[in-house]
Amino acid sequence: MHRSMTSVPPLIVACCLLAVGGGCGKEEVKAVEKPPAEVYVQKVEAKDVPVSFQYVAQTESSHEVEIRARVVGFLDRRVYTEGAMVKTGDVLFLMDPKPFQAQVDDAAAALARQKAALETARLNLARVKPLVEQDALSKKQLDDATGVYESYGAAVEQAKAQLTQAQLNLSYCTITSPVDGAAGAALVKDGAFISLANSHLTTVSSLSPMWVNFSVSEQWVQNLRTEIARKAILPPANDEYDVEIIQVDGTPFPKRGRITFKAPIYNPSTGTFLIRVTLDNPGGILRPNQYVQARIHGAVRPNAILIPQRAVQQGAKGHFVWVVTPDNKAESRPLAVGEWNGDDWFINEGLKTGEQVVVDGGLTLQPGAVVSPKPVSAKAEKASKPAGEEPKDKPAKKGD
């Protein structure tokens, strides 16, 4: 018996053992099918979309005046408070008026002398005229008397002008503000001698209206013209763009402005064109030389397609998105993208109205993969629910 068992081939023995355990042969293994991938989609919709353009800008006073001394002399004192708001006509500085008062008095005395001489010449002419008519005096004497009278008349006018100039110089000793605005620091101290070299005393800057300047590149201007020409962008009527100013903390300024100046000359050193916005600045909130953001509103993109930026992926051949076909399969779609609009992206080519674009869940998709699409709004609702919250209509457990 032992000898007969050892002569049996091992393969037959193995088959017999498998037969005892359930049969000889391979058991068929069924492949486990993966469930459709869950994706969140957004339906493509073409609509008119307002667009805005944003640029770094800088504020500028619409009327900034350098306050300068108009006469040479000693500065008596500063009257205003540095940095304070001043009104038109407010006194800023006082210069020593005594030398200029003396000039006025001297000019007034010179005028009085000339007037007296003129009166004497007038009386002399009045005596000479009848004597010449009676041939008692020669005509030359009449001409001489007339010349003297007219000469003194001219001297009177000259003296009047000198008096007026002296009075002006005296008035220039009181230096006032020509505009409403914020007064800067005093550049010259009290008691200093004022000459042409140091005549700049301070600066007064008007705060309302305020100018906001920014520059646009030559390429941007050309692109905008092209977009407008092919009706891809519709500008506002009469090019009256509405300009919103964003302050340094990110909050919008309460007043909006209008574009009031477009530089007609290209700046070759910066490669840009200057654009100026004018807006009201109540309370002087904005100050000159601040950096702000200028957001230009008013243009519209007609029949534009917008999709979230996170839906767009980058491949070897460029940008693409996943589109869900009518039979719930994933399809890769190449795109021609435009500009960003907030968290969205303008799509120039590649999508049409009614298609479903995968917004979330498309990172692991493959072409032809079966998907289970859900609206992207459902994901937002799911994320907004507190963790562990159960639906209100959950069925009661047995035994409750």
Of the listed ranges 66-70, 193-197, 365-369, 394-398, the least confidently predicted one is: 394-398
* 194-219 average pLDDT score: 95
- Taking the C-alpha atoms of 130, 134, 139 and 142 in order, what is their torsion angle to the nearest 10 degrees? -20
Neighbours of 263 (CB within 10 A): 14
Residue 35 is predicted with a pLDDT of 85
Q: Which residues contact 355 (CB under 8 A, 6 or more apart)?
A: 43, 44, 323
Residue 29 is predicted with a pLDDT of 53
Q: Which residues are paired to 384 by β-bridges? A: none
* 209-214 average pLDDT score: 97
How many angstroms separate the CA atoms of 386 and 6, rounded? 72
| CA-closest candidate to residue 340, choices 136, 35, 53 | 53
How many angstroms separate the CA atoms of 23 and 383, rounded? 53
Residue 298 is predicted with a pLDDT of 95
Handedness of CA 265, 268, 269, 273 (dihedral sign): positive
**Mean of all residue pLDDT scores within the chain:** 88
Of the listed ranges 18-22, 87-91, 128-132, 379-383, the least confidently predicted one is: 18-22
* The two three-digit tokens of residue 110, written as one number: 């010179």
Neighbours of 311 (CB within 10 A): 21
How many angstroms separate the CA atoms of 256 and 107, rounded? 55
| CA-closest candidate to residue 243, choices 258, 255, 229 | 258
How many angstroms separate the CA atoms of 372 and 381, rounded? 18
3-state secondary structure of 142: helix
Handedness of CA 157, 162, 166, 171 (dihedral sign): positive
Q: Is the pTM of this model over 0.85?
A: no
Whether 373 shows a pLDDT value over 80: the answer reads yes
Whether 17 shows a pLDDT value over 50: the answer reads no
Residue 32 is predicted with a pLDDT of 61
Q: How confident is the model at residue 390 (pLDDT cuts 50, 70, 90)?
A: low
Domains, the chain, ordered by start: 39-46+304-384 (2.40.420.20), 51-62+207-303 (2.40.30.170), 65-204 (2.40.50.100)
* 253-266 average pLDDT score: 95
Q: How confident is the model at residue 114 (pLDDT cuts 50, 70, 90)?
A: very high
Of the listed ranges 17-31, 127-141, 147-161, 233-247, the least confidently predicted one is: 17-31
* 180-201 average pLDDT score: 95
**DSSP per residue over 182-239, as a string?**
EE---SS-TTPEE-STT-EEEEEE--SSEEEEEEEEHHHHHHHHHHHHTTSSBPPGGG
Whether 20 shows a pLDDT value over 80: the answer reads no
Q: Which residues contact 151 (CB under 8 A, 6 or more apart)?
A: 121
Q: How confident is the model at residue 389 (pLDDT cuts 50, 70, 90)?
A: low
**Per-residue DSSP letter, 254:** S
Q: How confident is the model at residue 9 (pLDDT cuts 50, 70, 90)?
A: low
* 378-398 average pLDDT score: 56
Of the listed ranges 16-20, 58-62, 217-221, 292-296, the least confidently predicted one is: 16-20
Of the listed ranges 66-70, 124-128, 249-253, 339-343, the least confidently predicted one is: 339-343
Give tens-digit pLDDT for 45-103.
Answer: 999 999 999 999 999 999 999 999 999 999 999 999 999 999 999 999 999 999 999 99
Residue 23 is predicted with a pLDDT of 47
How many angstroms separate the CA atoms of 285 and 253, rounded? 9
Q: Do 93 and 82 meet the contact criterion of CB atoms below 8 Å apart?
A: no
Q: How long is the chain?
A: 400
User: Looking at this protein, which amino acid is placed at residue 225?
Assistant: R
Distance from first CA to last CA of the chain, Å, rounded? Answer: 69
Q: How confident is the model at residue 6 (pLDDT cuts 50, 70, 90)?
A: very low
* HSE of 198, CA atoms in CB hemisphere, 13 A: 12
Using CA atoms, how far residue 369 sits from 35, 41, 347, in Å, is 11, 15, 24
Whether 19 shows a pLDDT value over 50: the answer reads no
Token pair 């705060």 is at which residue? 207
* 335-339 average pLDDT score: 90
For residue 209, is the peptide bond before it cis, meaning its omega torsion is within 30 degrees of 0? yes
Q: Do 61 and 210 meet the contact criterion of CB atoms below 8 Å apart?
A: yes
256 φ/ψ angles, rounded to the nearest 5 degrees: -105, 160
Residue 7 is predicted with a pLDDT of 47
Find the helix or strand (DSSP H, E) in which 397 lies: none
Residue 135 is predicted with a pLDDT of 85
